[in-house]
Structure 1
Amino acid sequence: MNVRERSEALEYEFLSEFAAKSREARRKEPMEECPFRTKFQRDRDRILHSKSFRRLKHKTQVYIVAGDHYRTRMTHSLEVSQISRTIARGLRLNEDLAEAIALGHDVGHTPFGHAGEAAMAELTGHFAHNEQSLRVVEFLEKGGKGLNLTREVKDGIVNHTGKHLPKTLEGRIVRTADRIAYLAHDYDDSLRAGLLKPGDLPQVVYERLGTDTSHMITSMVADMITASAGKDDILQGAACKEAMDVFRSFMFEHIYRSDVLAHERRQATFVLRELYGYFLSHFDALPQEFAAREACWGRQQTVTDYVAGLTDSYAVQLFNEIFMPPVGLMVH
């Protein structure tokens, strides 16, 4: 029995009857097993080492113009991963599966956060970052070969938001852990940015979840573990869920859709609109790796994949190179 086989056997011995078992996981393309890592551990590593994951360090979470201590898509994904593992361990579910889904859930996100996603949806007629994340891991990574992830990880990625629930409890953990992470951490970043101050949230949030980020996360995580223990679903207590819904509505009204950030949203939308239109008209200006995909995916989808995959900084750099004259400083 090798290391992987021992790990697989231990899952049946120690994990809950409701946990996903890595031995039962399947890939679209069968491949030789690793002697040391389970399928879910390999999926986690493939995502972690992918180009799309590395790009997340230069993609906006909420604040486009931010300092060193604000969250990016990468730090958000790492925080979702940590929260998901804690919940999975508390419920004796598969931590490796939860971690892989959490790390991969946002790899299809656009530059400039939700403003970028809204811009791409307007330009294309339909765009959702969860669907693009699935597309990235299934078709776009590794030069168009994809990562060949297990069906359980792909299901958790595409259904971490939207109307369909993930089939596994680990995927359902990530779906709520994502919200826990962005509510608490976007509140923390909003305090740092001066857009909110302590005491601004509705009182029910402070009363039920706590007054600082750490206590908020602890309260929401503990509630999920307590409500879901021994159940074949991932649940929340009514009081905690109500407070989270109030918290989320407040953040959308006062931060995500706020007038204060409206100018940044307009700038981001303008940059993506111009880049998208330019590459549709000048398709040969795309990197060769993307231009070669036209026969398979068509011009519009190929341009969508390219523009959606840009980082904030590279999108601005491209915009300047294409549309701005190379005016230097005058020397007297």
Structure 2
Amino acid sequence: MSDTAPYASRSEFSLGRLHSTGPSPTRSEFQRDRDRIIHSTAFRRLQYKTQVFLQFGGHFRNRLTHTLEVSQMARSMARALRLDEDLAEAVALSHDLGHTPFGHAGERALHAAMQPYGGFDHNIQAMRVVTRLENRYAEHDGLNLTWETLEGILKHNGPLTNADGTPFGKYAHEGLPAGLDDIPAAADLRLSSFASLEAQTAAIADDVAYNAHDIDDALRAGLIVLADMVDVPLAGPIVREVLARYPGIAPKRQAHEVQRRLITSSIEDVIATTSANIAASGINSPEDVRNAGRTLVTFSQSAAEAEKGLKAFLFERVYRHETVMVPVRHSETVVTGLFIRYMASRDLPGRWHGYAADAPDDHALARIVADFIAGMTDPYALDEYARLFDARPDFR
């Protein structure tokens, strides 16, 4: 891409793939990554995995619609910042491939069940999906993505370690996730460096999408009304402006206007702030980005503080609302029950039965069980629970 900035990633300078492939006459290497992700089985399964609202109906976001929204925002910001849009899109499209059924509730339950065996981390699971579990190719496991896309999936939220190898960021409190030593790539993924600007763009697009669509879905579900948000940070000024300017239109239209303006203002804030960060940092290459010592794609300080306030409101009024928590508790029971039963019986369906039967010890078996459960859709998990326990939880 001739118009990209010097600090943008360039596919022609990629560190390559673990398994060599011939060049494509029509697509860049990052475009090929994007296409491989879209055609994967794990990507299709996202349409039947919960985002936040379990069993609320077809108009609410699922993991696939969320991923598509993140991808669109990442690409738009990458274009404005003169980055490689295809790499930003590839990372955005793959960032949730490791998520369990039933949203974060399923992940919490699986992580708790896996505690004796190293725990469960959806980011590491995404790496397992794209490097090991997808089996679409005759000559190798995984999707054989470029080093840059793998780096972006693994580190889009920042480094995992300090330069001395000690855990960094959230991992300083939680410890490094299991499986970091089992990620095949064309070169060292350098756990202590920051990821590309494209990966950072995908990460912040995730935040923007979450904020906007969780408000939209919460309003649609009747958990809140716009009047509840007039004093909420970040969204409040927009809500007040929309209610004052359009007092007579339908609440649904008011909600969509708020969502649209919130997305626009958030993205414009990120673009302006990131442009200033880049100029101040003096970076001139992708390697400079990795060694910058901090995330460069950010909200402004005021917007970041306001976003924390918005998240606090959503946590209190939406994510912990009893209407949401009833199915959450049921889903945790399903995931925990499946894990315990599979570990005790090794009775996994299909090809997974052979994998479980051949597991040499409980640690290996637990990782196979976690791989299987994490790949389930919500309906399939419920069907398996009904098969094994002759029961189906009532999510209402």
When residues 305 and 72 of structure 1 are mapped into structure 2, their CA distance, relative to the original with a 3 A threshold, is: same
Shift of 1:295: 4.7
The residue aligned with 2:206 is 178
Aligned counterpart in structure 1 of residue 114 of structure 2, from 121, 124, 127: 124
SS at match of 1:214: helix
Q: Indicate conservation of the 8 Å contact 1:159/1:175, yes or no.
A: no
Q: Indicate conservation of the 8 Å contact 1:271/1:316, yes or no.
A: yes
Q: Equivalents in 2 of 1:102, 1:290: separation in Å?
A: 32
Q: Equivalents in 2 of 1:278, 1:258: separation in Å?
A: 30
What letter is aligned with 1:309? G
Q: Indicate conservation of the 8 Å contact 1:109/1:132, yes or no.
A: yes
When residues 280 and 69 of structure 1 are mapped into structure 2, their CA distance, relative to the original with a 3 A threshold, is: same
The residue aligned with 1:225 is 271
Shift of 1:325: 7.1
State the structure with bigger RCO (CA 8 A, min sep 6), 1 or 2.
Answer: 2
Q: Indicate conservation of the 8 Å contact 2:204/2:298, yes or no.
A: no
- Could you tell which deviates more after superposition, 171-180 or 290-299? 290-299
The residue aligned with 1:320 is 386
When residues 54 and 247 of structure 1 are mapped into structure 2, their CA distance, relative to the original with a 3 A threshold, is: same
- For 1:82-106, what per-residue CA distance to the aligned partner results, in whole angstroms no more than 9, with x for missing partners? 0000100001101000000000000
What letter is aligned with 1:42? R
What letter is aligned with 1:139? R
Q: Equivalents in 1 of 2:36, 2:388: separation in Å?
A: 34
The residue aligned with 1:283 is 346
SS at match of 2:55: coil
1:125-164 matches, within 5 Å, as: 125=115, 126-142=119-135, 145-161=141-157, 164=160
The residue aligned with 2:44 is 54
Q: Equivalents in 2 of 1:98, 1:273: separation in Å?
A: 35
- For 1:206-258, what per-residue CA distance to the aligned partner results, in whole angstroms no more than 9, with x for missing partners? 35566611100000000111111261421321221111111112212222233
The residue aligned with 1:196 is 224
For structure 2, the 5+ residue unaligned runs are: 161-192, 243-257, 284-295
Q: Equivalents in 1 of 2:106, 2:59: separation in Å?
A: 22
Matched, 1:264 2:327: yes
Matched, 1:214 2:210: no
Q: Equivalents in 2 of 1:207, 1:289: separation in Å?
A: 50
The residue aligned with 2:58 is 68
The residue aligned with 2:337 is 274
Q: Indicate conservation of the 8 Å contact 2:131/2:144, yes or no.
A: yes
The residue aligned with 1:17 is 6
Matched, 1:244 2:307: yes
Percent identical among aligned pairs is 39
**With structure 1 as the length reference, what TM-score do the two structures score?**
0.89
How many correspondences in the alignment?
315
Higher helix share: 1
What letter is aligned with 2:376? L
Q: Equivalents in 2 of 1:267, 1:200: separation in Å?
A: 28
RMSD across aligned C-alpha pairs, in angstroms?
Answer: 2.1
When residues 203 and 318 of structure 1 are mapped into structure 2, their CA distance, relative to the original with a 3 A threshold, is: closer
For structure 1, the 5+ residue unaligned runs are: 1-10, 327-332
- For 1:172-194, what per-residue CA distance to the aligned partner results, in whole angstroms no more than 9, with x for missing partners? 01111101001110110000000
**With structure 2 as the length reference, what TM-score do the two structures score?**
0.75
Q: Indicate conservation of the 8 Å contact 2:94/2:126, yes or no.
A: yes
The residue aligned with 2:364 is 298
When residues 281 and 203 of structure 1 are mapped into structure 2, their CA distance, relative to the original with a 3 A threshold, is: closer
Aligned counterpart in structure 1 of residue 195 of structure 2, from 145, 160, 167: 167
Q: Equivalents in 2 of 1:228, 1:200: separation in Å?
A: 32
Aligned counterpart in structure 1 of residue 76 of structure 2, from 70, 73, 86: 86
- Could you tell which deviates more after superposition, 142-151 or 113-122? 142-151
Q: Equivalents in 2 of 1:87, 1:208: separation in Å?
A: 23
Q: Equivalents in 1 of 2:219, 2:297: separation in Å?
A: 31
Q: Indicate conservation of the 8 Å contact 2:339/2:370, yes or no.
A: yes
Shift of 1:282: 2.0
- For 1:43-92, what per-residue CA distance to the aligned partner results, in whole angstroms no more than 9, with x for missing partners? 00000000000000000001111222100000000000000001000011
Shift of 1:42: 0.5
